[in-house]
Structure 1
Amino acid sequence: MTAAAKAVPDARRLPVWLKATHGLGSIAYGVKDNGFATFLLLFYNQVIGLDAGVVGAAIMVALFADALVDPIIGELTDRTRSRWGRRLPWLYGAPIPLAIMWMLLWSPPEMSDAATIGWLIAFAIIVRALVSMCEVPSVAIVPELTADYDERTVVMRYRFLFGWGGGLLILLLAYGVFFGGPKGLVDPAGYFPYALTGALMMAGAVMISAAGQHKRIAVSNLADAKPAGSLGDILREMKKTLSNRAFLWLIFAALFGFINQGITFSMTNYMLGFFWKFDQGEMITYVFLLFGTMIAAFLLVAPLSKALGKREGAIVAGAISLTVNTAMYFAWIQGVFPGLPGKPSAEVMFALVFFSNTFAIILMILSSSMMADVVEASQSETGRRSEGLFFAGYFFMQKCATGIGIFIAGQILSYAAFPSAAKPGEVGDAVLTDLAWGYMLAVLVIGLMGLIVTRQFPISRADHEARLALLDDAARVDPDASGAHP
């Protein structure tokens, strides 16, 4: 049986250089996420001048529309036949168009509000689709590299390390360089260098990562041809694959987590500048703090997963994050947060965010690692390995959830009657209190629902290892019937 036709990859440890090179490609996703979740609402609201609720709704519409493309991309990557295998043609072809479209997203010409909304929706869809053409085949490589239950978590933590690192690097440049002038984050001149730097980072990271893994994953599958089938046949196969019980529970649970992430990221600049009243130095320190939480999560996630398992580890991490984050805003509302009345203590806020964000990242890493284990669960039912389709389905849910989160953030801002062209220190306490209540209650309710659903995920370490043994036995008995041909 050739390397391309193995039913299940070896359950083996991978060299650090390969895990790091693989993770490098997620920088593009981190830069995109930072832009969409942290700056896009602010840019089109405070700089362009559109209503926050309208912008939030437009972004949600764009993400819903774009999300429909993801399962198609996933299925196409699974069916791609080339002398370099299924994933590399996508990783070499998508980055340059992505960089160009990213620049255009942040450069709307002067036109009517309706036309500007159309521009936002169109380029948001195009950018997110191109990011999927980079991210879906890249993350689909994870279950192909190793079948080891714990090693998949380790590989995923490298993806999150570079993804967060890329997003935080562009955020650091934004706070410290691009928007360092007196106008701050509402300076229109800062958005061109911000967009250009992001475009170069995204294209460069994906192409370097693909080239670095080339020798390891460039295995021809041209001989692995199978009839394409009718569109109806393909859709029926996709439906059967995506009906997997473990997959459905996991994306349902993750839906709530990514809604909360969309709310939090979209409101970050509002909260830091107007609520916590950070100056530029504290903004920069906050970026380093977030990178510190990524390092802490990188170190803690593997031992936590080994001790508790992925599902239980995710639930514990989510509960800790939710409790700390909610308590922080409740203390502010009650007037007992250190530093009140007046400017809240940045040091105390930093300490609480460190714990909250560390465990939030651990939750996300474990959720992604759990998705890799769904591949073999589906293979045992359908006879197909559908890494691309599963992770595309995961991204489909993530985009829908992020869109919902951004929409909810816009509605919270509208509910609080947050003023346009606002200046830090000039927003009334009543507005800030409504903002805090809206944010805290939304995050608390949505987060609790996510943790309840996570308990239903059915794959444990023992389940995964038993399934690997059965698939391996089937592959040795009958390689052609093992589901090796996706």
Structure 2
Amino acid sequence: MRDDLPLASPPLPASAKLAYGIGDFGFGLSWNMVGAFLLFFYTDVALLPAAAVGTLLLVSRLADAAIDPVIGIAVDRTRGRSGRARPWFKWGAVPFGLLCAATFWIPPGSEIIRLLWAVLTFGALGILFSVVNIPYGALLPMMTNRSNERLTLGSLRAAGTAISVIVATAATMPLVGALGGGDQARGFLIVGTLFGLLTTLTTLNLLRCPEQVHAPDQPHRQAVLPQVRAMIANRAWHTVFLFALLNFVRFGAVLAVTPFFAINVLGKPWMISILLPAVSGTLLIGSIIAPPYLKRMGMRRGNLIALLAALPLFALLPLTEGSTAAFLTLYLIGSVLLSITMTAIFAMAAEAIEYHEQLTGTRNEGLLSSGISLSTKIGMALGGALIAFGLASIGYVPGKGGAQVVSGLRWLYYAPIILCMIAQMAVIARYPAIRRATR
């Protein structure tokens, strides 16, 4: 490991920090509409079979295993006047916004035509998400190497994510109803177009973020395999990768199953617009309390304590289904605790890049960020696919319930939350101590 520590970068202006946080509001607005409602849209509006949808969600995201590192390496090799990350926002903002709308359009024709359209649009959306989101993740360590500012940027990003999911989950169905005039297909298309436009504008706004931390002099065309091997050998990186993967398996499963759970188990469809926004409303709270908490407790211990405190609260949830007040109380407190761990991911990802430089003398922000982006997408896909396959296995049919469906939905709702938290505790226990930049 290298003994020299980098000098601290210049302080960031407030406008740049705000632009960075708003960036994830835009990405999250469209991506979390997809995560929360695409399964429902495919099964209940486009009338596609749940098993086929589950396969689509899983295969499309696993294909990103080859695409994301390619984009990450391309970011590292980018040398433009506006930097390494920012040129990608210019190229990808408009196409990504257009695909957000196209994904929620149902072409006329047979089930095969609708399924092929879903395959094409969802696959392309994932690729374009990588084109803008991997540079976005790489941008944070390029903006600053100050640990306090990284925590601030990570918290602002978490706040942007939180607000976007609140808007996406709370407003989507009311907007679909209001703008669609009773036609859900039309309503989803209009809302997808609106959210896609906002995503494009906030992505272009990231051009205001400066790139102040530069990679040390190194060849632009390094061999790929040694870079990948070094990334995998970076204990901080693969710890964050697994921690984020498990986090987003849980998050993706909760987003996908909540509409079905609220309607068929709780018997309260109106709870959809409370439970889903609450996930991100608590993330907004977590983005405020996480920086001082994690600074005091440290990443490893702070995350472990938050997970240990949240676990019994979610384990008790099945006992409170008959009381809305008790259910929501446990749910909200547990979600606040989990929001600390989600906020920590962004700061840990930046730390993993600093740790990589200490180990190897190279930063490779694009490649390492592509891995974290990949964990997010695969996690969301695994969570969504798990629910889709689960719906097929319990014989779910839109508009029909039954004891088997209700029992199956309970397992699909609670098991991913609890199992993923236990696995996250085992993973974060391996997170290494990382030296900070000097002032």
TM-score norm. by structure 2 comes to 0.90
| Structure 1 residue 49: Cα displacement | 1.3
Equivalent residue number for residue 100 of structure 2: 102
Equivalent residue number for residue 29 of structure 1: 27
| Structure 1 residue 46: Cα displacement | 0.9
CA distance in 2 between partners of 1:220 and 1:304 (Å)? 29
Q: 2:246 aligns with which of 256, 270, 284?
A: 256
CA distance in 1 between partners of 2:129 and 2:220 (Å)? 29
- Do the aligned residues in 2 keep the contact of 1:44 with 1:50 (CA within 8 Å)? yes
**Per-residue CA shift, 1:448-468, capped at 9, x if unaligned?**
122112101112xxx323xx4
Q: 2:343 aligns with which of 365, 368, 371?
A: 365
Equivalent residue number for residue 58 of structure 2: 60
Sequence identity (%): 21
Equivalent residue number for residue 423 of structure 2: 449
Equivalent residue number for residue 199 of structure 2: 202
Secondary structure of residue in 1 paired with 2:82 = coil
CA distance in 2 between partners of 1:195 and 1:59 (Å)? 18
Q: 1:164 aligns with which of 162, 165, 182?
A: 162
In structure 1, what residue type is equivalent to 2:335?
N
In structure 2, what residue type is equivalent to 1:206?
T
- After TM superposition, the structure 1 = structure 2 runs for residues 285-300 of structure 1, keeping only pairs within 5 Å, are 285-286=274-275, 289-300=278-289
- After TM superposition, the structure 1 = structure 2 runs for residues 125-204 of structure 1, keeping only pairs within 5 Å, are 125-180=123-178, 187-204=184-201
CA distance in 1 between partners of 2:391 and 2:186 (Å)? 25
Q: Which runs of 5+ in 1 are unaligned?
A: 1-5, 340-344, 473-486
CA distance in 2 between partners of 1:225 and 1:54 (Å)? 46
| Structure 1 residue 326: Cα displacement | 2.9
Equivalent residue number for residue 264 of structure 2: 274
Give the 3 Å change call, closer, same or farther, for CA 356–220 of structure 1 in structure 2: closer
CA distance in 1 between partners of 2:218 and 2:111 (Å)? 50
Equivalent residue number for residue 296 of structure 2: 307
Equivalent residue number for residue 245 of structure 1: 235
**Per-residue CA shift, 1:390-423, capped at 9, x if unaligned?**
1111111222222211111112222332222x1x
Secondary structure of residue in 1 paired with 2:252 = helix
Give the 3 Å change call, closer, same or farther, for CA 446–35 of structure 1 in structure 2: same
Secondary structure of residue in 2 paired with 1:277 = coil
CA RMSD of aligned residues (A): 2.8
Q: Which runs of 5+ in 2 are unaligned?
A: none
TM-score norm. by structure 1 comes to 0.82
Give the 3 Å change call, closer, same or farther, for CA 219–248 of structure 1 in structure 2: closer
1:217 aligns to 2:206 (yes or no): no
- Do the aligned residues in 1 keep the contact of 2:166 with 2:278 (CA within 8 Å)? no
**Per-residue CA shift, 1:334-390, capped at 9, x if unaligned?**
xxx444xxxxx2x33332222122222211111221111111211122221111211
Secondary structure of residue in 2 paired with 1:385 = coil
Secondary structure of residue in 1 paired with 2:316 = helix
| Structure 1 residue 198: Cα displacement | 1.3
- Do the aligned residues in 1 keep the contact of 2:29 with 2:199 (CA within 8 Å)? yes
- Do the aligned residues in 2 keep the contact of 1:63 with 1:124 (CA within 8 Å)? no
| Structure 1 residue 236: Cα displacement | 2.6
CA distance in 1 between partners of 2:377 and 2:277 (Å)? 27
1:458 aligns to 2:436 (yes or no): no
Aligned positions, number: 436
- Larger Rg computed on CA atoms: 1
Equivalent residue number for residue 312 of structure 2: 323
CA distance in 2 between partners of 1:33 and 1:166 (Å)? 9
**Per-residue CA shift, 1:34-93, capped at 9, x if unaligned?**
122111111111111122122112111111112421111111111101111111111111
In structure 2, what residue type is equivalent to 1:99?
G
| Structure 1 residue 268: Cα displacement | 1.9
**Per-residue CA shift, 1:431-484, capped at 9, x if unaligned?**
21221024323332232122112101112xxx323xx45xx9xxxxxxxxxxxx
- Give the 4+ runs in structure 1 shifted more than 6 A: 181-184, 218-221
